[in-house]
Structure 1
C-alpha cells in the first residue's frame, strides 16, 4: 500500500475521531487507532487532521517515532503532489520579519543578551515553551535573584596568574564545572537541536544530560562526540513501564557515551505553565477540548507543549519501589534530579552507591511555584546533614546567569552547576555557535571570578569565599526533623 497515490482531497475527508488521516513527509497515515494513546492527547492530532502536519511534527519527534508507534498498515500511501493545493488553512503565520541572520556571537556579552536575540529569532511557540514557568513565575525569578544576596569575599596579594576550571563529575574529568541540564525539544528553537548542544559541549569539555523528551535520537545526539565526552540520560518513568525499560535498553547499549541515568523527581505531574498553554489557543483549526476517544481521560489545561510531554508520566514513584526497579534494568549509576529538602538529600545518600549524585532543582520554576531555589537546599544540607557531601555528589541547577553564580554554588558545596534555558536560548540565538558562546561566556566569567577571589582551582573554593548570611536567614528553620520518623539513626548507621 505504501506506493499508492492518494489525493489531497481524499485526505481532507478524514478529520474525525472515527477516521483521522494526516500527511507526514509526503506520506499519508491513518492515525485513528493512535489517537487515544498519543502522549499529547487526541486533540493535538485532530487539530492537524486532513492536512500536512510535517511542519508541526518534525521539530518535536525524533526519527523512528512513526515506526515505533504505528502499525505498518497505517501507512496508506503517498500523497499525490499534483492534487496538493496551497491553501491558507494552516495556523496563522507570525508577523513576517526580514531575517538578516544572527548578529556575530562575539558581540553578545552576557546570557541576557543571548536570550534577547533568541527571543527575536525563535518561533513564538518555541520561545513560550522555553521561557514559561508555573503559576506566578516566582520560583523562576527567585532562582536567580537569590544569588545576588550572596556576597563574595576576595583575598588579595594572591598569585592569580593561573586558573583551572576543571573538576570531576562521578569520577570523570570535565573541563568546566558547568553542565547542560536536561531540556526538552531543542529542535523547536533551532534545527541543530540536541546534537548542536552536544557538539558545543564537546568543544568546552562540558557534560550534557539529554532530555527524555529530546527531539533527536540518542544515537544522533552523540554521533559527533569527542573522545571521553560525558553524557547522562534523563528518565521520566512512564505509567507503561515497558516504554521506559525499552529506552533504558537503548541507553545501556551506549556505555561509552552515557555514564549515568538522571531520574527526574521534581515534576511527577506538570506545573501550570500559562504562557505555554496560551499558545494552544492560537490555532486556526479549532477542536473542542472535550473531543477525545471513549477510553481517553480528560486532560487539564490548555494543552501546551509541557502538558503534552508529561502525559503518560508515572506519578506513583517511591523510594522503596523506583530504585529497586531501576536496578533490574540498568547497571548505570543513578543521579536523582529534583531534590528540594535536606531530608530527601539524606535519604538519597542512604542509597549510595547506586545513587551517585543528586541535583538540587525546582525544575527551573516550571513545576511547583514558590518551591525553594537550589541555594536554599544547599544551605539546608550544610546546616542539618553536612555528611551528605561526603557520600554523594551534590549538583545544582536553576537561575544561573553569571560566572559568579557558578562560583557561589561551588563555594556552598555543589560539585557541578547546570544550565537549562541558557543552552536553549543559545541555540535560538545562533544554533551550535550560540551554545558555544553561552559556555564561552560562563567559563570566562567563572575564571575571572576565581582569579579575583584568589583561587586557582575549583577544589579550593569553599564557604570562606562567600558571605551567605542574608540568605541563611530565609532557609527552613524547623529543625532537622529526622528523628521524627526514625530516619536519623538509620542514616547515621549507614553513613
Structure 2
C-alpha cells in the first residue's frame, strides 16, 4: 500500500495541532504541513488555527487548484482520512445544517445598493469583511462615491435621443460598454462561480475584465469560456522574489490572444490598515494564541486578515527608473499603471508612452492610504495642469461608482473607461454569475438613460460641457503644476 493510500483516523489527526507537528485535512487527504508553517504567505497562525481538522472549507475559496502540489513535498501527503472515524465530536465547530434561503429574483434588485444588501446577507462573514473593508476611518472609501454627488449634470433638450451607443475602444480593442471590472481578489470567497463567473458575465455585456494577481482561480480557468474578442488584462503585484513575477508574466505572455495588457498596481506598496478585515483573524483566537509564530517566521504588521495575507511578499521598492525597463524585458504587452493619484504622476506616465498605454486613477478603493484623493480630483488636476496627458495615453478611473450617472460624469471629465471592483464581487455574492450580469445590466441601463436625457448619442460626445464640476474644483490641489522642477523629470527626459 502506498503511503498516500493509508487510512488515518480523525482522532490521530487531532493530536497534531502544534507548530512542532501540524496536520490538516484537505479534500479528504491528510497533510503534514509543519515544515511549511514559516513559509505560508498568510503566516503560521492561519494554519495553526485549522490544525488537527478539516480545513477544506477555509482553504478552497482562496487557493487556485494546483497550489498544494506546487507548494508541498510529495511526502507531506500522509494518507486519506478514514471516513468512518469522522463524527460530530471530531468537528467541534460544526454547525447544524440550515436550509439556506435562496436569493431573490435578480430582476427585482433595482440598484447596486440593493445587490450589496443581498450579498451581505448571503456571503460568509469573512468574505463580506474582506470585500467591504477599507483603511482606517474609511474616509477615502466614502468620499469616492460622495464626490460624484457634488457634480451636476447639464442636460440639453430638443436633441434626438432615439439612439444611444455606449460602445468605445480601450487600447484599440472594441468594448460594448465603457465599464470594466477592476482587479478584485478572492472572488470565490463570496461564491463558487468566482472569477470565471465574472468573466462569463463580462462576455455577455462586451465588458473588459482586469483579473486580480490574487485571483482564487488560475488565469487559464478564468478565461476558458471567454467569447471571441473578449478583452482581459492581468493585474501584477511585483514580488520581492522577482522570479515569481517573471514566471507569471511568461505565463500571461503565452495567452496574449486573451490578455491584452499588464496592469501594474502602484497604489498599495504596503497594505492599508483594514480593521474590519483584520478582526476576522481573531474569530478563532481561542485555538491559537495571537502571538504564535515559528522561530524563523518574519514579523507581520497588524492583526492579519485576508488583505495582510495576500500582500505578504509584495515588493515595495518599485521605481520609474528600474521597474518599467524590467517589465519591458519580461513582457511584450502594453502596460497600464494603476493607482495614480496626482497630476504629476499622470504626466510622468504619459512620457513613457508607448510602453505605458493607459493609467487608472485610483486610491485602491479606499483600502490603502485613507484620506487619499478620489479619482475625480485627479481627473480635474490633469485637466487643470497637464491636459495633454489625455492625448498621449488613455485615462481610466475606478472607485465609488454606484450609478450610471457616476459613469457618465467620469467620462465627461475625460476618463475613457470606468472600473468597478466591489460591485462585481457583491453581484457575485448576491447571485453568482447571474448577480454580476444584473450588476452590469443595471449600470449599462442607467448609463444609457443618463446619456439620452443629456442629449448625447455616443460616449465620444461626452465632455466638460455636460457637467458642472465647479463645487468639486474648489477642493482640488492648488499648489501649481510643478512639472518643470519635479524631481523625476530629469529621469524621464533622459529616456525620450
- Which bracket does the TM-score occupy, shorter chain normalised? over 0.9
Question: 1:105-157 deviations in whole A, cap 9, x for unaligned?
Answer: 11111000111111111111111110110000010010000000000011111
Distance 2:8 2:97 in 1: 33
Cα shift readout 1:49-79 (whole Å, capped 9, x = no counterpart)? 1111001000110101101111111111111
1:271: how far off? 0.5
| Equivalent position of 2:182 in the other structure | 181
Q: 2:82 is matched with which residue?
A: 80
Aligned to 2:310: 309
Structure 1, unpaired ranges of 5+: none
The verdict on how the C-alpha distance between 1:490 and 1:20 changes in structure 2, with shifts beyond 3 A counting, is: closer
Give the 3-state SS of the residue equivalent to 2:314 in structure 1: coil
Partner residue of 1:21? 23
Partner of 2:60: 58
Are the counterparts in 2 of residues 89 and 284 from structure 1 also a CA contact under 8 Å? no
Measure, in 2, the Cα distance between the counterparts of 1:280 and 1:490.
43
Instruction: Please report how far the alpha carbon of residue 289 of structure 1 lies from its aligned counterpart in structure 2 after TM superposition.
Output: 2.5
Matched, 1:282 2:283: yes
1:258-313 Cα shifts (integer Å, max 9, x gaps): 11111111011111111111111211643123211222111122211111111111
Q: 2:233 aligns to what SS in structure 1?
A: strand
- Give the Cα–Cα distance (whole angstroms) in 2 for the partners of residues 348 and 115 of structure 1: 35
* Counterpart residue number, 1:3: 5
Give yes or no for contact 1:409–1:417 (8 Å, CA) kept in 2.
yes
CA displacement at 1:7 relative to structure 2: 1.8
What is the aligned partner in structure 1 of residue 327 from structure 2? 326
Indicate if the aligned counterparts of 1:177 and 1:416 stay in contact, CA closer than 8 A: yes
Q: Counterparts of 1:33 and 1:384 in 2: how far apart (Å)?
A: 55
CA distance in 2, matches of 1:100, 1:83: 31
Aligned to 2:47: 45
Provide the residue aligned with 2:262 in structure 1: 261
Match of 1:438 in 2: 439
SS in 2 for 1:243: helix
Tell me if structure 2 keeps the 8 A contact 1:207–1:231: yes
- TM-fit CA distance, 1:85: 2.4
1:407-452 CA-partner distances (Å, limit 9, x unpaired):
0000011001000000000011111000000000000000011111
Deviation for aligned residue 1:99: 2.7
Displacement of 1:245 in angstroms is: 1.4
Q: Deviations over 1:218-277 (max 9, x none)?
A: 111111101000001111111111111121122111111111111111011111111111
2 CA distance for matches of 1:91 and 1:313? 33
2:191 is matched with which residue?
190
C-alpha displacement of 1:90: 4.9
Q: Is the 8 A contact 1:92 1:283 kept in 2?
A: no
Report the counterpart of residue 206 of structure 1 in structure 2.
207
Please list the CA deviations of residues 174-224 of structure 1 after superposition, one character each: whole Å capped at 9, or x if unmatched: 000000000011111111110110000000000000111111111111111
Match of 2:148 in 1: 147
Query: What are the ranges of 5 or more consecutive residues in structure 2 without an aligned counterpart?
Result: none
Contact 2:23–2:32 under 8 Å retained in 1:
yes
Q: CA shift at 1:383, angstroms?
A: 0.6
Could you say what secondary structure the match of 1:451 adopts? helix
Alpha-carbon distance between aligned partners in 2 of 1:65 and 1:361, rounded to the nearest angstrom:
31
Q: Following the alignment from structure 2 to structure 1, what is the Cα–Cα distance between the partners of residues 202 and 489? A: 40
- Cα deviations across residues 12-32 of structure 1 (Å, max 9, x unaligned)? 222111221111001111111
Aligned counterpart, 1:373 = 374
Take 1:234 and 1:8, find their aligned partners in 2: how far apart are those partners? 41
Are positions 1:427 and 2:414 aligned together? no
Whole-Å Cα distance in 1 between the matches of residues 494 and 78 of structure 2? 63
Equivalent pairs counted in the alignment come to: 494
Structure-2 change in CA distance of 1:88 and 1:451 (3 Å): farther
8 Å Cα contact 2:119-2:430 kept in structure 1: yes
CA distance in 2, matches of 1:491, 1:21: 53
CA distances 1:152-178 after superposition (whole Å, capped 9, x unpaired): 011111000000000000000000000
Q: Is the 8 A contact 1:92 1:284 kept in 2?
A: no
Q: How does 1:157-168 map to 2 (within 5 A)?
A: 157-168=158-169
Q: Normalising to structure 1: TM-score of the pair? A: 0.97
Query: For residues 297 and 255 of structure 1, do their structure 2 counterparts lie closer, same or farther at Cα, with a shift above 3 Å needed?
Result: same
Please give the TM-score of this superposition, normalised by the length of structure 2: 0.97
Match of residue 454 from structure 1:
455
Question: What is the CA distance between 1:97 and its match in structure 2?
Answer: 6.4
Change (3 A) 1:97 1:151: farther
Task: Verify the 8 A CA contact 2:263 2:337 in the aligned structure 1.
Answer: yes
Deviation at 1:482, TM superposition (A): 1.8
